[in-house]
Amino acid sequence: MFLKLSKFFLYASVFSVVVVLSSTFFPFIGGKYYFFRTAIELALISLLLWWAFEARDGELEKRFAKILDKPIFLAVSAFALAFLLACVFADDSAAAFWSNYERGEGGFQMLHYYAFFVLLTVVFERREEWTRMFQVSLVAAVGMIMYGVVALLGVQGFIAAPGSGDGGFWSRLFSNARFQGSLGNPAYVAPYLIFSMFYAFYLWFMRKNGSRLLLNLGYGALILFFLTFFVLSQTRGGFLGLVAGIAAFFAYVIFSAEQKIKKRAGAGLLACIIVGGIIFAFRGELIAKNIPGSRFLNISITEQTAQTRFWTWGSAWQGFKEKPFFGWGPENFSTVFDKYFDPRHFVPGKQTETWFDRAHSVVFDYLAETGLIGLISYLGMFAALYYQFFRRRNGEQKMQSDPHVRLPANAMMPARQSSILRGLLFALPVAYFVQAILLFDVLPIYLNLFLFFAFALFELSYIHERQS
Band of pLDDT at residue 202, cut at 50, 70 and 90: very high
Q: In the predicted model, what is the mean pLDDT of residues 191-219? A: 83
pLDDT in tens, 323-355: 999 999 999 999 999 999 988 888 887 777 778
Q: How far apart are CA 88 and CA 107, in angstroms?
A: 9
Neighbours of 93 (CB within 10 A): 16
Q: Provide long-range contacts, Cβ within 8 A and 24+ apart, for 224-231.
A: 225/142, 225/145, 226/141, 226/145, 226/193, 226/196, 226/197, 226/200, 227/193, 227/197, 229/145, 229/148, 229/179, 229/181, 229/189, 229/193, 230/189, 230/190, 230/193, 230/194, 230/197, 231/292, 231/293, 231/296
Q: What is the DSSP letter of 235?
A: -
- With b for 16 or more beta-carbon neighbours within 10 A and e for fewer, the 390-412 pattern comes to eebbeebeebeeeeeeeeeeeeb
Is residue 339 a part of any domain in this protein?
no
Q: How many domains does the structure of the chain reveal?
A: 1
Is residue 298 a part of any domain in this protein?
yes
Residue 402 has pLDDT above 70, yes or no: no
Closest CA to 358 of 102, 181, 162, 37: 102
Is residue 123 a part of any domain in this protein?
yes
The answer, as to whether pTM is greater than 0.85, is yes
Residues in the chain, total: 468
pLDDT in tens, 219-275: 889 999 999 999 999 898 999 999 999 999 999 988 887 777 778 888 888 888 888
**Least confident segment among 38-42, 67-71, 417-421, 443-447:** 417-421
Is residue 353 a part of any domain in this protein?
no
- Mean of all residue pLDDT scores within the chain: 87
Cα 342–345–348 angle (5° rounding)?
A: 125
Is residue 352 a part of any domain in this protein?
no
**Least confident segment among 25-34, 340-349, 367-376, 455-464:** 455-464
Is residue 327 a part of any domain in this protein?
no
Structural domain of 237: 2-303+359-467
pLDDT of residue 216: 73
Is residue 279 a part of any domain in this protein?
yes
Closest CA to 235 of 434, 15, 453: 434
Higher local confidence (pLDDT), 80 or 356: 80
Is residue 333 a part of any domain in this protein?
no
Q: How far apart are CA 318 and CA 337, in angstroms?
A: 9
Residue 205, SS3 per DSSP: helix
C-alpha distances in Å from residue 420, one per residue of 54, 192, 202, 256, 338:
39, 21, 8, 10, 47
